[in-house]
Structure 1
Amino acid sequence: MLLRLPTSVSGAQECLSEGAVPIGGATLVWATWQRDGFPELAESLREVPEANVLGRETVGGAVVLHRMDDRMPDVLRRAAAAVGTGAVRRSATVGGNLVGSALRCLLPAATVLDARATVLDSDGVHETDLAELVTKRPVLLSLRWREPIASAYRKLAGEAGGPPPLVVASALYVDGGGDLLRVAVRDGYDVLSGSVPGVTDTEEALHTLRAAAFGDLPTAAWDVVRSQVAGLLGGRDTD
């Protein structure tokens, strides 16, 4: 296998046009390649500046998970810290997790941040939403979002060999004159999401979420949502 390391977006696009396979940190594909055979040509974005940005409202697709520190919103930082082992987090990338993984452990966090993706495909660079990112699976250059005033994340313990563990992520924003709450839940391989504009109190927010997005959640999952929402809104309820 020949590995290309382009140093620019145009170079990365040229590699794609030549049939190069994006590999991220290769933590997910290596075993498959050992079994089924390696591609002739692959590329990594680790030398492309646009794919290595890291700040309060952006992260590059080539950034490895262990670099996601307290510059990130809590929800995204904690999501990255909960992926695999330390060795995995030192190799796995944001793009590999969101685009190359069926688990997409970062997706609930990115969803509540309402993140937008800058991607590269055969037509060039463009911006898209998360739904298109996970469906069409282009090369992720970076994510960007608006920083929330508070956020939270919880990943429950899973059984070895069982379904993916439950994940609940949430973020709170000041939106105009009121608050906006976003919640996302990974239940199995599906990510469900809902939002509540003009939040006034915890019970009203929970009622809205339950009716609009999370009516079919198991009781145990809903209990986690309830606890997390109450924690985010605890100091902001009105009489």
Structure 2
Amino acid sequence: MLLRLPTSVSEARECLAEGAVPIGGATLLWAEWQRDGFPALAMSLREVPEAVALGRGTLGAAVVLHRIDDRVPDVLRLAAASVGTGAVRRAATVGGNLVGSTLRCLLPAVLVLEARASVLGPDGVRESDLSEVTAKRPLLLGLRWREPVSSAYRKLPADPGGRPPLTVSVALHADAPGPQRLRVAVRDGYEVLDGSAPYDDDPDTTLHTLRATALRDLPEGAWDAVDAQVGEVLRAADDG
């Protein structure tokens, strides 16, 4: 297998045109390749500046999970820190987790941040929403979002080898004019449910509104975790 390391978006486009298979940390591909055979040509984005960006409001697809720190909101930092083992986090990338993984551990956190994706195709870079990224699996270049007022993440305990653990991601956004807006996303098994509600100093009304969104399909036990995380985010916003 020949691995290409483009150093710009234009070089990455050329690699795609040559049929290069995009890889991240290859944590999800290695076993498959060992079983089915390695591609003749592969490509990593780890030398492309846009793909390794890490800062306020931006995160590149080639960033490995263990590098994600307090330059990003708490919800995303904590979600990344909860993925697999330390060895996995040192190899797995943002793009691999969102596009290649069935669990997509980062997806709920990215959803509540209302992130937009930059994807690379034959015609160049374009903006996409997360539903296209997860459904069509294009080559993800990076993510951008507006900073929330506050955010939080929780991963509940689960039995090893059993059902994937329930996770709760919450972010509070300031929309001017108008009330603030609370966004919640929950991964229940392999399914991700999300919803939003206005927040105007009345947590009970906000939670009641959330129960009328797609989150209404959550099992009642999951709402204890949702209520706790929403309370944490609202208290952090008030303290700030």
Question: TM (normalized to structure 1)?
Answer: 0.95
**Deviation sequence 1:134-173 (CA, Å, 0-9, x none):** 1111111110000011100001122222222111000011
Distance verdict in 2 for CA 1:236–1:40, change over 3 Å = closer
* In 2: Cα distance, 1:164 partner to 1:20 partner: 33
* 3-state SS of 1:203 partner: helix
Q: Does 1:18 align with 2:43?
A: no
Q: Distance in 2 between matches of 1:75 and 1:15?
A: 34
Q: Name 1:179's counterpart in structure 2.
A: 180
Unaligned runs of 5+ in 2: none
CA contact (8 A) 1:181 1:199 kept: no
Matched ranges for 1:98-137 at <5 A: 98-137=98-137
Matched with 2:227 is 226
Letter in 2 for 1:221: A
Where structure 1 has 5 or more consecutive residues not aligned to the other structure, the ranges are none
Contact 2:185 2:193 in 1 (8 A): yes
Alignment of 1:73 onto 2:79 = no
Does the CA contact (< 8 Å) of 1:202 and 1:234 recur in 2? Answer: no
Question: Percent identity, aligned pairs only?
Answer: 70
Taking the aligned partners of 1:236 and 1:148, their CA distance within structure 2 comes to 10
Q: Deviations over 1:41-60 (max 9, x none)?
A: 11000001110111010010
Tell me how far apart the structure 1 counterparts of residues 2 and 237 of structure 2 sit (CA, whole Å): 55
Give the AA of the match of 1:185: V
Partner amino acid, structure 1, of 2:74: D
Letter in 1 for 2:220: T
How far the C-alpha of 1:199 sits from its partner, in A, is 3.3
Any runs of at least 4 consecutive aligned residues in structure 1 with deviations exceeding 3 A, and if so which?
234-237
Q: Counterpart of 2:6 in structure 1: which amino acid?
A: P
1:76–1:236 CA distance, 2 compared to 1 (3 A): closer
Residues 103-147 of structure 1, C-alpha deviations (whole Å, 9 max, x = no match): 100000000000000010223210011111111111111100000
Aligned positions of 1:153-168 closer than 5 A: 153-168=153-168
**Structure 2 CA distance for aligned equivalents of residues 158 and 54 of structure 1:** 31
CA gap of 1:7–1:221, structure 2 versus 1, over 3 A, is same
Aligned to 1:193: 194
CA distance in 1, matches of 2:213, 2:220: 16
Q: 2:22·2:44 contact (CA, 8 Å) conserved in 1?
A: yes
Q: Distance in 1 between matches of 2:34 and 2:221?
A: 39
TM-fit CA distance, 1:214? 1.6
Code of the residue aligned with 2:51 in structure 1: it is A
Could you tell me which amino acid in structure 2 is paired with residue 155 of structure 1? K
With the length of structure 2 as denominator, give the TM-score of the two structures: 0.95
Q: 1:91 to 1:187 in 2, by over 3 A?
A: same
Matched positions, count: 237
Q: Given that residues 165 and 187 in structure 1 are in contact (C-alpha distance below 8 angstroms), is that contact kept between their aligned partners in structure 2? A: yes
* Distance change (3 Å), C-alpha of 1:174 and 1:39: same
Q: Does structure 2 conserve the Cα–Cα contact (< 8 Å) formed by 1:184 and 1:193?
A: yes
